[in-house]
Amino acid sequence: MENDWSACLTTFEGHSSSVNSVAFSPDGRQLASASYDKTVKLWDRHTGACVTTFEGHESNVKSVVFSPDNRQLASAPSDETVKLWDTQTGTCIEFIGHSEVNSVAFSPNGQQLASA
């Protein structure tokens, strides 16, 4: 390999603060990122372009995960909520009950969402 070869294929730029979590969509076409800037961004994996920005968290977003069918994206902030976003429309369902959320995960069939 040449000395000046870079393994970096794409740089995704657009958050105004640190990124805490990233997740590939199950179909491999998109990447989601969760940030201290209180947003979740959805990126085109091939071009690096930001497709959409999900806003509405009141604190740092710590974790993000796609549903197995690519239709939903769950995000976990440092507050009492978990947000479930429709990746096509941007609509959001909010779940309240934690004192702080650190992680979210979908079951393999996408029928359940776990938060910690």
pTM of the model: 0.86
Q: Is residue 33 part of a domain?
A: yes
CB-count burial class (<10 Å; 0-12, 13-18, 19+) for 43: buried
Instruction: Give per-residue pLDDT as tens, 55-103.
Output: 988 899 999 999 999 999 999 988 889 999 999 999 999 999 877 888 9
Domain that holds residue 82: 19-110
CA distance 105 to 116: 9
Q: Is residue 11 part of a domain?
A: no
Q: What is the CATH number of the domain that holds 104?
A: 2.40.10
Structural domains counted in the chain: 1
Percent of the chain with pLDDT over 70: 94
